[in-house]
Amino acid sequence: MSSKEWKRTALLPGSFDPVTLGHLDLVIRAATLFDEVVVAVLENSSKQPWFSAEGRVLMVQREMAALKNVRVVRFSGLLVELAEKEGAEVVVRGVRGGSDLEYETLMARMNAHLRPGLDTVFLPSSPNLTHIASRLVREIAYLGGSVKGLVSEKVALAVETRAEEKRAENAFTTRRSAE
């Protein structure tokens, strides 16, 4: 195979609930390191996502639209099976600090056990984005705080709307259980 035909594909999986500026930074950096980056949105997260899989894929697609070597797919099941299907030899994961590293190392080793040869590359989060986590974005929005500087303006709008729905749902449940 000539060097022109040879394409190095990396898989960048996550829940993206919602996609943050930290994710975007990671994907941009991965897109400069690899020929192609497949951003894989986990469909059936055990974490009870705020946004549907369709909604998360659309949000991620919109955020990554300018990146020509980035594709967004939705997946369920094992990551190693998706890597096989997409012809990816590398998984990329962002690491914010020590506890991320511990968990990510475990996942990387398990994925390598399930599919020998599949390696994981850790990218340290950019220093100005290290505090960003989707879980905290949801919590801040739910409690009425500003998510500016954590997610894009469009995502912020979607998160604020969803937070309002969540508050209304919870108020309804609390009223019902008090009756």
> If binding is defined by CB under 6 A, does position 152 make contact with ligand PNS?
no
> If binding is defined by CB under 6 A, does position 111 make contact with ligand PNS?
yes
Q: Which CB atom, from 56 or from 162, has the smaller least distance to ligand PNS?
A: 56
Answer yes or no: 4 catalytic. Answer: no
**Minimum distance from residue 104 beta carbon to ligand PNS (Å):** 9
Interface residue with ligand PNS among 13, 18, 22, 49 (CB under 6 A) is: 13
Identify whether the C-beta of residue 118 lies closer than 8 Å to the C-beta of residue 91. Answer: yes
Q: Which CB atom, from 17 or from 36, has the smaller least distance to ligand PNS?
A: 17
> If binding is defined by CB under 6 A, does position 171 make contact with ligand PNS?
no
* Cα distances (Å, whole numbers) of residue 74 to 16, 38, 67, 166: 11, 10, 18, 24
> If binding is defined by CB under 6 A, does position 101 make contact with ligand PNS?
no
> If binding is defined by CB under 6 A, does position 65 make contact with ligand PNS?
no
CA 56-58-62 angle, to 5 degrees, is 120
Identify whether the C-beta of residue 79 lies closer than 8 Å to the C-beta of residue 36. Answer: no
> If binding is defined by CB under 6 A, does position 18 make contact with ligand PNS?
no
Residues near 61 by Cβ (< 8 Å), separated by ≥ 6? 72
Dihedral sign for Cα 103, 109, 113, 115, please: positive
**Minimum distance from residue 113 beta carbon to ligand PNS (Å):** 9
Answer yes or no: 134 catalytic. Answer: yes
- Which residue do the tokens 């008090």 mark? 178
Can you tell me the distance from the alpha carbon of 30 to that of 60, in angstroms, rounded to the nearest whole number? 15
**Residues interacting with ligand PNS, by CB under 6 A?**
13-15, 42, 78-79, 107, 110-111
Q: Indicate which residues carry an active-site annotation.
A: 23, 47, 96, 134
